[in-house]
Amino acid sequence: MTAPRLTIRRPDDWHLHLRDGGMLKGVIGDTARDFARAIIMPNLVPPVVTTTDAKAYRDRILAALKPGDRFEPLMTLYLTEGTNPDDVEEGKKSGLITAVKLYPAGATTNSHGGVRNIDNAMPVLERMAKIGLPLCVHGEVTTPEVDIFDREAVFIETVLDPLRKRLPELKVTMEHVTTKDGIDYIKGSKANLAGSITTHHLIINRNAILVGGIRPHYYCLPVAKRESHRLALRAAAVSGDARFFLGTDSAPHVDPLKECACGCAGIYTSINTMSCLAHVFEEDGALDKLEAFTSLNGPAWYGLAANEETITLEKNVEPVSFPAKIETEAGPVTVFDPMFPLHWDVVR
Ligand code: DOR
Ligand code: ZN
């Protein structure tokens, strides 16, 4: 009997952390193997704030690729209250900048330079609306009074919805949606709003982090929510609805920085994302919608053509083995364990 196969357009990753230096060199191959393009997050230390920073970072990414790799990094700028609208417009015009990223100050890894008061970023947001440059949003408030599990819902109500009412022409990507509230908000919008969903949020709920001991390798931000939210994300992802697409948020940290008293947020999924997603979509009887989620909806939203190349996934009888960790010059990085055997793999 021949193994089941599925051929789809080559996927893209619409939210990826590649880091820099030894870590960049250690992880980029895992993305370039399966993905044609990725939106690269700008939360380096120091962050990628200007077009000049983005150009230099893009060059470092391209230099880290191996000969023969075909991968295009799509660059973003880290929005600050001092971002210059002219620089942003220049970046878009030159083709270098695909989006601008809003991190509310303090929301996550390296976000202390992010936006405290969105009013101060209005001039640049207005310019982005005018020139059609999308805003990628880390949609969580950081107010100490707000429970961490409610941060996304409160952000929608107090920041995102008012912003979209004030600037309806601004294209907003709500990144790594983790709640039913987020899914419903996107579904209820008429235009200019879409959402990315990570691999891990389709697979884990908050029990993975907390039941039977604290498991730092399942900790990320936005933190995984209760099961009903995961099911809402699954339903949206497998529905084929063009407003939802893959953004892995693969975010490598070396193990010592995860396995400690105050561990970093981030889950490394670049290496096994396509295997995990094929499993998820098959489980939900929606393998025919996988291509929309990984390869069609994202480019359509960002105004780009879908990739012409294809990849083929094959379902093996024996489980596929991925390394538990990858070694990088920066140190070991634990690979996301979906807690079920993976049978699908990309044919290489
Ligand atoms: O889990 C996360 N890790 N969420 C983010 O928003 C940032 C990321 C990182 O850079 O490590
Ligand atoms: Zn991220």
DSSP sequence for 309-327:
-EEEEEE-SSPP---SEEE
Q: Which atom of ligand 1 is nearest to the CA of 267?
A: 1
- Tens digit of pLDDT for each residue in 109-125? 778 888 999 999 999 99
pLDDT at res. 299: 98
Q: What is the number of helices (H) and of strands (E) in the chain?
A: 13, 13
- Topology, domain 5-346: TIM Barrel (3.20.20)
pLDDT at 272: 98
For residue 312, pLDDT over 90 is answered with: yes
Pocket flag, ligand 1, residue 23 (CB < 6 Å)? no
Between residues 348 and 163, which one has the greater pLDDT? Answer: 163
Is the distance from the beta carbon of residue 17 to the nearest atom of ligand 1 less than 6 Å?
yes
Q: Is 251 in the pocket of ligand 1 (CB under 6 A)?
A: yes
The residue whose CB lies within 8 Å of the most ligand 1 atoms, and thus the one to mutate among 221, 223, 269, is 221
Residue 318 CA to ligand 1 center (angstroms) comes to: 33
Is the pLDDT reported for residue 108 higher than 90? no
Per-residue pLDDT tens digits for 197-217: 999 999 999 999 999 999 999
Q: 77 falls in which pLDDT band (50, 70, 90)?
A: very high
Cα R_g (the chain), whole angstroms: 19
| Residues 294, 132: Cα–Cα separation, whole Å | 23
**CA-to-CA distance for 242 and 258, rounded, in angstroms?**
35
Residue 23: pLDDT above 90?
yes
Q: Alpha-carbon distance 74 to 15, whole Å?
A: 10
Mean pLDDT of 183-193: 97
Q: Which residues surround ligand 2, an ion (CB under 5 A)?
A: 249
Is the pLDDT assigned to residue 107 strictly greater than 80?
no
Section 84-113 average pLDDT: 92
Q: Supply the residues annotated as catalytic.
A: 249
313-345 pLDDT tens trace? 999 999 999 999 999 999 999 999 999 999 999
pLDDT of residue 113: 82
CB of 269 shorter than 6 A to ligand 1: no
**What percentage of the chain exceeds 90 in pLDDT?**
95
- pTM assigned to the model: 0.98
| Nearest protein Cα to ligand 1, atom 10 | 109
The CA angle 323-15-175, to the nearest 5 degrees, is: 125
Among 169, 237, 173, 171, CA closest to 14: 173
pLDDT at 238: 98
Look at residue 111 in the predicted model and tell me its pLDDT.
80
Place of tokens 């070991």: 332
What's the CA gap between 291 and 12, in Å, rounded?
10
Ligand nearest, relative to CA of residue 254? 1
Above 80 in pLDDT, residue 1?
no
Residue 310: pLDDT band (50, 70, 90) is very high
- State yes or no: cis peptide before 46, omega within 30 of 0: yes
Q: How far is CA 294 from CA 10, 29, 121, 138, in A?
A: 8, 18, 31, 20
Structure confidence at residue 188 (pLDDT): 98
Percentage above 70 pLDDT, the chain: 100
- HSE of 143, CA atoms in CB hemisphere, 13 A: 13
Model confidence at 2: pLDDT above 90: no
The whole-number pLDDT of residue 193 equals 98
pLDDT on residue 112 = 83
pLDDT band at 253 (very low <50, low <70, confident <90, very high): very high
Question: Residue 63's pLDDT is what?
Answer: 98
Distance from residue 199's CA to the centre of ligand 1 (Å): 14
With cut-offs at 50, 70 and 90, classify the pLDDT of residue 305. very high
